[in-house]
Amino acid sequence: MVSNKYHLVIMAGGVGSRFWPLSTQELPKQFIDALGVGRTFIQQTFDRFQGVVPAENVWVVTNERYAEIVHEQLPNVPVENILLEPCRRNTAPCIAYAAWRIKKRDPKASMVVAPSDHYIRDVEEFKRVIELSLQFASESDAIVTLGMKPTRPETGYGYIAADLTSPSLREPSIYRVDSFKEKPDYATACEYIKRKDYFWNSGIFIWNVSTIVNALRMFAPDISELFENMLPIYGTDKEAATIKEEFPKCRNISIDYAVLENADEIFVQPAEFGWSDVGTWGSLWTLAKRDSKGNVQVGEHIRLYETSNSIVHVPEGKQVVVQGLDGYIVAERDGRLLICKLEEEQRIKEFSEA
């Protein structure tokens, strides 16, 4: 159910180019249609909150260089809701900026913070979990995180250890967090997956605006003071220039280190809705539709012969013929061509900068 008290903050400041040559610093992952579904990652993020958060309550925090791209891809988001960072300072300053900006409009608002570049398979289940968590957070001082039930010993994600013996009295599907765990090595990840109380940390957070503002005041007073002092200029013609001057003074620190590992009222909502941060070509291969030989094809004019377990991703209008490959990436964009073994994709950055 849509509520005018609910706000969505999409974090879209990343400059990652892990999907080179599709993504670059000029056009990062969140702004590309890597899955070939006709919508970019940030557009899909916006889409899945329809019916939960009204468009006028959607905020995007991004680097100032991406302002025009965000406006082009999300025309229903008010221009004044696109908050521009002059530099990268990690997630705590990003969230603080959005929280104080929303506080200026509605001090009693509740908000979801979500990355712009994740994949969700079951959108209806996702909405159910978000609505339940928003209702829970709106009635308390709780900070809620979404924990994904692990399906494999993943070393690329952080983990949340939950106290499954301590469900919330108001919502029995939500539990207190025991601790947050760093990205583990493979052996440790194998131990985690054997346990029912360990979940992947999705990086999706739900809280009252007052809750996160007070938490930042307590645990990151230097950051909170900076954004509190700017309260009179939010929404005025002085905001852009003031942010450009003041934002770089923030520490480079994640919300996990700044707040979550210090606060007491931290809860986790375990969930299963087919989540991935789509951080590699390999993860894209597992998520996208594959043919009978295990190939993923994104493009209209692709012909594969004696080829299996590969990804071929080319722009509209390009013709590609591939023969004799097994387990490869073939991708082209704007004259940049990648042909690489899937198992060697960690070297893409090395290749692309050579």
Residue 227, phi then psi, degrees to nearest 5: -80, -30
User: For residues 20 and 28, what is the distance between their CA atoms, to the nearest angstrom?
Assistant: 9
pLDDT tens for each residue of 233-273: 999 999 999 999 999 999 999 999 999 989 888 999 999 99
Buried b (16+ CB within 10 A) or exposed e, 309-331: ebbbbbeeeeebebeebebbbbb
Q: Phi-psi category of 13—alpha, beta or left, where left has phi over 0 and alpha has psi -120 to 50?
A: alpha
- Looking only at the bridges linking them, the beta strands covering 311-313 and 296-298 are parallel
User: For residues 295 and 37, what is the distance between their CA atoms, to the nearest angstrom?
Assistant: 16
Residue 339: which pLDDT band, with cuts at 50, 70 and 90?
Answer: very high
Domain boundary assignment for the chain = 6-276, 281-352
User: For residues 201 and 182, what is the distance between their CA atoms, to the nearest angstrom?
Assistant: 10
Is a pLDDT exceeding 90 seen at residue 170? no
Q: Which residue has the higher pLDDT, 49 or 16?
A: 49
User: For residues 336 and 354, what is the distance between their CA atoms, to the nearest angstrom?
Assistant: 13
Is a pLDDT exceeding 90 seen at residue 188? yes
Is a pLDDT exceeding 70 seen at residue 197? yes
pLDDT tens for each residue of 18-77: 789 998 888 999 999 999 899 999 999 999 999 999 999 999 999 999 999 999 999 999
pLDDT tens for each residue of 274-292: 999 988 898 899 999 999 9
User: For residues 326 and 336, what is the distance between their CA atoms, to the nearest angstrom?
Assistant: 22
Residue 16: which pLDDT band, with cuts at 50, 70 and 90?
Answer: low
Residue 226: per-residue pLDDT: 97
Residue 304: per-residue pLDDT: 97
Write the DSSP assignment of 214-282 as a string of letters: HHHHHH-HHHHHHHHHTGGGTTSTTHHHHHHHHGGGS----HIIIIITT-S-EEEEEE-S-EE---SHH
Residue 179: per-residue pLDDT: 92
Among residues of the chain, what percentage have pLDDT more than 90?
Answer: 81
Which residue type is seen at 338? L
| CATH architecture label of 6-276 | Alpha-Beta Complex (3.90)
Residue 353: per-residue pLDDT: 59
Is a pLDDT exceeding 60 seen at residue 354? no
pLDDT tens for each residue of 95-122: 999 999 999 999 999 999 999 999 999 9
pLDDT tens for each residue of 135-152: 999 999 999 999 999 999
Residue 17: which pLDDT band, with cuts at 50, 70 and 90?
Answer: low
Longest dimension (CA), the chain: 65
Residue 351: per-residue pLDDT: 63
User: For residues 252 and 331, what is the distance between their CA atoms, to the nearest angstrom?
Assistant: 34
Q: Phi-psi category of 338—alpha, beta or left, where left has phi over 0 and alpha has psi -120 to 50?
A: beta
pLDDT tens for each residue of 299-314: 989 999 999 999 999 9
Residue 114: per-residue pLDDT: 97
Token pair in block for residue 175: 């539990």
Residue 18, phi then psi, degrees to nearest 5: -70, -20
